Chains A and B, each alone.
Chain A
């Protein structure tokens, strides 16, 4: 497990040394929190939905994790172009351990970002309804982080074009976010939208997180956990497969 740990530690150290990276990937979630939260708040309340920040915050936390997790894949491209990937790939270590270390590192950083967004949400007026449910919320954050870091690993392994990566990731972030029930309740949607939300893994993450933090999950925490867990497992396997096929 030494190699997994040291590669995990590398990611964490790099993250902690780059304040620009921390702030940069907070921008989008915070913008959405303030624009949507305070913009739609009064309308949402009038329509009988209750406090909108209370509804929106879990979605924004999930978004913060999603954004950082997906973009962690670009580190594979950097490492490939600037040589460090070679150092790890010619070491006498199975690639599975290398990709595991990298993915856990990326997921941990996504968790850090999620924790920062969480804190900002608290400042913006979000309240956790049942503190004893925090461990469950933490578990959902971990699953979201792992699942989407694995997606980042898949794209980071397959793409060789440094400019294509952010374009494709931006293309994915928005639909994943908008069709996840992060900003609107899932009940009573048009059929097409229901279909889109139910195949989106993030939907179950947002629902689980919301359920744990404020009650009222649409699907039930057990189902959310199972679906997201299976998704995360599959994506991890697929990510490892593509990473193991990288040629220098």
Chain B
């Protein structure tokens, strides 16, 4: 047996409650350094809540987390320096250019001024956006936005990359591109990747390890092949449905959609 790689993420008995509701219920898992880890589950299962706790946005109600050896509660800034995040919702400033968004990130993360421009160009080239460098982000398509967010998340060369549904709503071409960037990153830089997705064939293809969460608890863990074997299913999607059931999950709709509409109207008025 070869020596096991140290764990990049270690989670013990992690719990988050909102009032009476246990969104995440005593989950434990670890992600070895350098692995691509898929975190799957139906809507409202606790995926995003878990990512928020791992990335210092939300304080856990109980349990412990270590990310790259740091506790997100006790030393959030150390964790923040180690991680890059692509959120489920866009988080760019759409009135700035691609370059300006990248530059802002570079300054917030304390990248030295020297070589900053070159580095920004390098990552824009990596996601094939260098030719749009000085365009205002507002004009970008959904796929371009996601690629820019990926480039931005990588700019400070994080140890761990968190991706919350990075390919949601994108066309197959863009999805393929995004995953190929992520795979080459993992291969060439040994970056640990933690992602969620609803596209099971993507998880099957890309993830080296998977955890499935449902009702706030982890219901299955292992390599995609192992999960399919255990559930006696041909595809990961079948295995997923066997493990989590057929019923549709009602997720409370946020006010975000109506807000987006309002914003469009506001913009027209201005």
Contact = CB atoms under 8 A, between A and B. Distances in A.
B135 interface: no
Interface in B76-91: 76-78, 80-81, 85, 87, 89-91
Contact of A90 (B57, B93, B107, B260): B57
Given A90-B57, A92-B80, A248-B57, A84 B108 contact: no
Contacts of A5: 107
A14 B93 CA distance: 10
A91 B80 contact: yes
Contact of B87 (A7, A86, A92, A247): A86
A89 B57 CA distance: 8
Contacts of B262: 162-163
Given A10-B93, A18-B95, A83-B91, A90 B55 contact: yes
A86 B55 CA distance: 11
Contacts of B81: 92
Interface in A8-45: 10, 13-14, 17-18, 20-21, 24
Given A20-B270, A162-B262, A82 B96 contact: no
Interface string A76-120: 001101111011111111000000000000000000000000000
A10 B104 contact: yes
Nearest to A2: B107
A47 B152 CA distance: 64
Sort chain A's interface into a size bin: 20 to 34
Contacts of A248: 52, 57-58
Interface string B31-58: 0000000000000000000001001111
A18 B266 CA distance: 13
A6 B104 CA distance: 6
A6 B96 CA distance: 12
Nearest to B100: A13
A91 B87 contact: no
Contacts, number: 84
Contacts of A162: 259, 262
B103 A6 contact: yes
Interface of A is mostly: helix
Sort chain B's interface into a size bin: 35 or more
Contact of B110 (A2, A10, A81, A247): A2
A77 to B, nearest CB: 9
A87 B105 contact: yes
Given A2-B107, A6-B104, A10-B93, A90 B85 contact: yes
A92 B77 contact: yes
A3 interface: yes
Nearest to A98: B108
A22 to B, nearest CB: 11
B109 A91 contact: yes
Contacts of B58: 247-248
Contacts of B56: 90
A105 to B, nearest CB: 12
B263 interface: yes
Contacts of A86: 57, 87, 91
A173 B260 CA distance: 27
Nearest to B59: A247
A84 B270 contact: no
A6 B113 CA distance: 12
Report the 9 A-B pairs with minimum CB-CB distance, sorted nearest first.
A83-B91, A91-B108, A20-B270, A92-B80, A6-B107, A92-B77, A87-B91, A2-B107, A86-B91
7 contacts: A6-B107, A13-B95, A87-B92, A87-B105, A92-B77, A92-B80, A93-B108
Given A2-B108, A84-B93, 15 more contacts: A82-B90, A83-B90, A84-B92, A87-B91, A87-B92, A87-B104, A87-B152, A88-B108, A90-B55, A90-B56, A91-B109, A92-B81, A162-B259, A247-B58, A248-B52
Interface of B: 52, 55-58, 76-78, 80-81, 85, 87, 89-96, 100, 103-105, 107-110, 136, 152, 256, 259-260, 262-263, 270
